Amino acid sequence: MLRAGWGVVVLVAVGLSCPAVAQSPPIAPSGGPPESRPTLAFDSGPLGMPPPEPTSVRTATRSSSNRPPNVLGAPVMGAPVRAIDREQPVVQEPVMPSSYADDQPQSLTRATTLGVPQAAGVPIPAQMVEPGTRTVPRPIESDPVDNFLTKRAKPKGEIDRGIPMDRTESRFGHRLTDAMGETKDWFKSDHCFDGFISPVSNPFLAEDPRSLTEFRPIFMFQSIPSSQPDFNGGNIWYFGTQARIAFTDRWSLVFNKLGGISLNPGSGSTFESSTGFAELWLGPKYTLLRGEDTGSVVATGLQFQIPVGTSGAFQNTGTLTLVPYVSYAQNFLRDLSFGSFNGIITTGYAASVNNERSSYYYLTAHLDLDVMNNHRFYPLMELNWLIYTTDGNSIDMGSEGLDLINFGSQAAGQGLLTGAIGARYKLTESAQIGGVFELPFAGPRGLFNYRFTMDFILKY
């Protein structure tokens, strides 16, 4: 009895926790027997094909009239479509670096990209589509580390100085070459300054600063004042030449005076007429500055006045005179419509090596106009000033002979300023002619009443 009571309790508890679900009555069968249809080639059958999908309740209840119309039409049955015919495989081309493509010839890159052309089924070579061009591959950049190690690995005693240079291109060699000057043709004049002309008056002391090679015949006639107590008038003739030899465009050798002289005193003079060789004046000249852009030329030189001439014409006085000098030429006012101007200034001091000859200081100034800048016709004017600083003891006389004669007289403190006017004409650059007429302006005249100078230049 007790067991039966516990069983009832268990049943009641289970019933309360899981109530029974009402079951629906069985569904009555609907429709009729399945319709029979012809067997298709791909239907399942006894050949082991899977059975047809069972018709669900939702499918069975759907009416065939609710289906959308078949737009594409009835399916066409045929041979099964292969997977290879449905979709072609995609062949991915290898990716090349840009540097590799740049290094390859252009024709090879185009041919690879386009593939093999086809024409009527016959392969056409790529060269027929686009001719092959040979390209030069880009040079491989040098490695700085490798270059450094290569230089460090050079044998002992061998130094890599980069681009080889000639001796003249080194610092010392360049300075030496610039100081010595250059020349393309031996003994040829410096033609970078052909716009200049040489002074005409005072030709033995007024020096052209350019380095020149020329032969210059000179003719001079000087009148002696009749008031001169020692000569009582008369005249002096000079006929000779100058010669200059240019070794470079800076160094040259100058023969300032080389010729003959004729001294003709007036009537009643204590001196007789004499004709013979004049003193020999020569020396080196160095062109310090050659300003082609500025039109400037500066030179310095040393002149040796050697008294080796005729004694009757006072051309053998003393032993020697040394004359250091500086000459400066400048072209200016180039923009003028009627031409440009050229100026030349020369100054120096003639110092006797003993007391037999007189010493003096001189200054010459030259100004010319290059008419229309044609380098042809040059009207000019010149000033010459000379003053004696020491006396000589060779002769008892109160006058001196300027640039023609050094008497060795007592003329210290006497100075003379003269002015000349004339012109120079260039037949060609190699053939020039000039002439001036010169008069004293200030100071004791001495033997200088007036002078006419004419020259002819043959220049190389």
pLDDT in tens, 398-428: 889 999 999 999 999 999 999 999 999 999 9
Q: What pLDDT is attached to residue 100?
A: 47
Phi-psi region of 233 (alpha: psi -120 to 50; beta: other; left: phi over 0): left
Q: What pLDDT is attached to residue 449?
A: 95
Distance CA 43, CA 443 (A): 149
Q: What does residue 284 show for φ and ψ, rounded to 5 degrees?
A: -80, 155
Q: What pLDDT is attached to residue 108?
A: 44
Identify the CA nearest to 301 among candidates 316, 287, 285, 319: 285
Q: What does residue 136 show for φ and ψ, rounded to 5 degrees?
A: -90, 120
Q: What pLDDT is attached to residue 158?
A: 45
Q: What pLDDT is attached to residue 61?
A: 44
Q: What pLDDT is attached to residue 54?
A: 52
Distances in Å between the alpha carbon of 30 and those of 11, 62, 104? 40, 14, 80
Q: What pLDDT is attached to residue 168?
A: 45
Q: Exposed (0-12), middle (13-18) or buried (19+): which is 108, by Cβ within 10 Å?
A: middle
Identify the CA nearest to 237 among candidates 447, 456, 16: 447
Query: pLDDT under 70 in the chain at which residues?
Result: 1-184
